[in-house]
Structures are given as structure tokens and as C-alpha cells.
Structure 1
């Protein structure tokens, strides 16, 4: 699937919600929607599939209030970002994408890498059949060379969906498996 085809799919979903969504440049924004007026626009030169999916989520949930000029940390913005990543990820997986292709997924869709990686791994990675030690072994096996610099305990905990309260246990286990003292 080409990026233009993915954009067309998302734009179609927006329009099915009754939003008049068309190419238009507005205040240097890549994409925008006003759910009260049922209109929206996007810059066809800069809007990514993520931008369109984000606006689709605003339309889907009928978000109609901004908290201020820069409300990037509002509940509605966080939800739109999360749901947009998950919707695009679902389509990506249906077309053969895997966890090994998250960077490719982000490049193709325009999703912010750190947010998408953390979200996808925490929401979609099933560790219910693995012990803490098996997860640690799986984690360190992903590295070609194991050094103090590339082992990050918080990344390990986040990757497998463990709470940060398990930090000390993870540190001890990774120390045991890697044979060196991890720098805190």
C-alpha cells in the first residue's frame, strides 16, 4: 500500500462521519477539524496519515472544545494521538507488518516514533505466557552487543508492560544475566 492510498482511506473515514474534509491551507496547520461546523481541511503537501487519523479521532469522538491555543496535553489530544496510532497500526499489521517494523511503520505513517513504539509495545505485546526472567532474556537477546549503555531498565519495564516499581528486581536480574553492574 502506498502512503497516498492510506491517506485516501483515512480521509474517506472522516468524510463518512459527515465532515466536509478537503485540501486547504489554514494557519500553517497540516490538518484540522471543527466538529461543530462539520468542516475540516488539510495541507495535501505536508499532512501525513497520522495527521489525518488524529483528526478522524477528533471527529469520531466529537471533540469540540480546545483548552487553549496550545492544548497538546489535553485529554482529547492524548486520546486522538493514541487512537490514531492504534488504528494505523492495526491496518499495518493486517498488511503484514510486525513489531520488527515499528520504525518503518512510523516513517510511512508519520507517527511520532517514541510515542508509537511505547504505545504499541505496551498495548499489543502479550507477556502473559512469559516469566519475568524469560522477558529479560528476550530483551537482552535483541542486542547484537550488550553494554551498559544500551541496556535501559526503564525501557525493559515499559517494553514488557511491567510497572516501574519492579525496577530493583529488573536491575538485579539484568545484572545477573549480563554479568556486569548496570549504571543507574
Structure 2
């Protein structure tokens, strides 16, 4: 599946929700939807399948309130981002894609690589079957060179869905695996 095919499928899904969604250039935005007026627009030159899927999620959930001009951290925006990635991933897998193709998936869809990898990894890997140590070994295996400066304990905890209260335990384990001395 390519970008044009994905875009066409998602535009149809948006229109099936009763949104008049058409090409339009509005304040340099790639895509937008107003669920109160049931209208939306997108720039066909810049909007990606992720942008359309994101707007679809707003329409699906009938999001109609912004927290401000730049509300990228609002719960509705976070949910739209997450569910857009999951919807696109489902379409990708149904068309023969798999976890090894995550870079290709991001290129086709316009999804952000880091957020996608974190979300898909946590979804695809059953962490209940992995011990804390196995997750740490898996995490450090992704690095070519590891130093104290490149090793981010919080990134490890977030990636595998652990609470930040496990920081000390994670730090000790990762330092042990990387042969760092626990100093300071």
C-alpha cells in the first residue's frame, strides 16, 4: 500500500463520519477538522496518511475543544496521535507488513519513528513474559556504543512501560550489564 492509497482510504473513513473533508489550504496546516461544523480540509501536497488518520480520530471521538492555539500535549491530541498510529499499523500489517518494516511504515505513513517504535514495541511484545533483566538486555542490545551519557534510564523505563519508581533498580541493572561502576 502506498501513500495515495492510504490517504484515499482514510479520507473515505472521514467522509463516512459525515465530515465534508476536501482539499484546502488553511493557515499552512497540513490537515484540520472542525467537528462542530462537520467540515475539514487538507493540503494534498503536504498532508500524510498520519495527518489524515489523526484528524479521523478527532472526528471519530467528536473532539471539539482546543486547550489553546498550540495544544499538542492535550489528552485529545495524545489520543489522536496514538490511535492514528495504531489504525495505520493495523492496515500495514493486514497488507503484509511486520515489525522489521517499521522504518518503511514510518516513511509511507508519515508517523514519527520514535513514538511509533515505542508504541508498536509495547503493543507487539508481551512484557509480562519478559523479566526486568530480559527487558534490560533487550534494551542495551539496540545500542552500538553505550556510555553513561547515552544511557538514559528514563527512556528504558518508558520504553518497556515501567514506572519511574523503578529508576534505582533499572540504573543498577543497566550499569551492571554495561560494566559501569555505580558511583554517585
TM-score after normalising by structure 1: 0.87
CA contact (8 A) 1:148 1:182 kept: no
Q: Matched residue pairs, number?
A: 184
String of CA shifts for 1:92-142, please: whole Å, max 9, x gaps. Answer: 233333334333322221122333333333344311111111112222223
Q: Which runs of 5+ in 2 are unaligned?
A: none
Displacement after TM superposition at 1:69 (Å): 2.4
**Local SS of the residue matching 2:162:** coil
The alignment yields a C-alpha RMSD, in angstroms, of 2.2
- CA separation of 1:66/1:135 partners in 2, compared to 1, >3 Å: closer, same or farther? closer
- Name which of structure 1's ranges 45-54 and 67-76 shifts more when overlaid on structure 2: 67-76
Q: Which runs of 4+ in 1 moved over 6 A?
A: none
Contact 1:125/1:160 (CA < 8 Å) preserved in 2?
A: no
More moved, 33-42 vs 150-159: 150-159
Aligned mates of 1:36, 1:150 — CA distance in 2: 46
Larger mean CA deviation between 93-102 and 54-63 belongs to: 93-102
Is the partner of 2:80 in helix, strand or coil?
A: helix
**Residue 78 (structure 1) aligned with residue 74 (structure 2):** no
1:23-74 CA deviation, whole Å, 9 max, x = no partner? 1112211111121222111110000111100110111011122233222222
8 Å CA contact retained: 1:122, 1:158: no
- Unmatched 5+ stretches in structure 1: none
User: CA shift at 1:183, angstroms?
Assistant: 8.4
Which TM-score applies when normalising by structure 2?
0.87
Cα separation, partners in 2 of 1:94 and 1:67, compared to 1, 3 Å: same
Q: Which residue of 2 aligns with 1:152?
A: 152
Counterpart of 1:131 in structure 2 is 131
Q: Give the corresponding residue for 1:94.
A: 94
Partners of 1:42 and 1:9 in 2: CA distance: 15
